[in-house]
Amino acid sequence: MIANYHTHTYRCGHAEGNEKDYVQEAVKAGLKILGFSDHTPYEYYDADPARYPSRIRMKPEELPGYADSIRALAQTYSGTLEIHLGVEAEYYPKYFPRLLEMLRENRIEYMILGQHYLGNEVGDVYSGRETADPQTLRRYVSQVCEALDTGLFTYLAHPDLIHFVGDARIYESEMRRLCRHAKETGTPLEINLLGMREERHYPTASFWPIAAEEGCEVVIGCDAHQPDKVMDIASEKAALETVSRLGLKLKETVELRKI
Ligand SMILES: [Zn+2]
Ligand SMILES: [Zn+2]
């Protein structure tokens, strides 16, 4: 790998290490491009102010510090490592316009889409929870498609996060709908190395042949939650094996879409 655009920091509350630790590991591993995409803060403006409703992301007040520190590292390491400032964001229709304002105010360069929850997160279901309900699968696919229609996401992280264990024919037709939409909007799909490392239900074996048939572009993302995971040779090898076996169109670098 020469580029990884999927990197977290301690700020999200479930990753370790600060941005400098990740940069040092990336240099050591010989990466050319390192993109930070920590879990975006969201402003749940109608929630109880005493209780932030999400436990997987930094708070809005942490965003300026995150942005400043990555911009400073980008300067320090220019010539050695190309560093980009992004976030991994869900598409939550109710809070999305305010999110964009906040990201623009802080000059965040790019977003990757990681649709971890359905609806607007608060009171709704985690996308990775096992389900046999076709309606949940359809909601996931529709919400992802709507997100891609904004044209603002650089790529779709772990498209196969949805953990559907119901009728395989329904899975195929819905995921084909997702893949066609990704193709139409020119959005690459990520083979997620965190899922591979931790033997999660994704990368999902039945998903990637559909992506190959639909001619989708793919990118490999480390989804690093620890500094030494900005490079993960064993998982990368397994991902490349899938790419070549299925004839997937791999992109080593991606063009960042302006927010
Ligand atoms: Zn995470
Ligand atoms: Zn992630």
Phi, psi of 238 (to 5 degrees): -65, -40
Give me ligand 2 centre to Cα 122, in Å.
19
Give me ligand 1 centre to Cα 196, in Å.
14
Considering every ligand atom, which ligand is closest to the CA of 87?
A: 2
pLDDT for 49 equals 87
pLDDT 10s per residue in the chain (259 long)? 999 999 999 999 999 999 999 999 999 999 999 999 999 999 999 999 889 999 999 999 999 999 999 999 999 999 999 999 999 999 999 999 999 999 999 999 999 999 999 999 999 999 999 999 999 999 999 999 999 999 999 999 999 999 999 999 999 999 999 999 999 999 999 999 999 999 999 999 999 999 999 999 999 999 999 999 999 999 999 999 999 999 999 999 999 999 9
Amino acid found at 169: R
Q: Which fold has domain 3-250?
A: TIM Barrel (3.20.20)
Give me ligand 2 centre to Cα 48, in Å.
26
Please state the pTM of the whole predicted model: 0.97
Amino acid found at 246: L
The structure tokens listed for 208 are 């990637």
Residues 160 and 203: beta-carbon distance below 8 Å: yes
Considering every ligand atom, which ligand is closest to the CA of 161?
A: 2
Give me ligand 1 centre to Cα 139, in Å.
22
Burial bucket for residue 209 (CB in 10 Å: 0-12, 13-18, 19+): middle
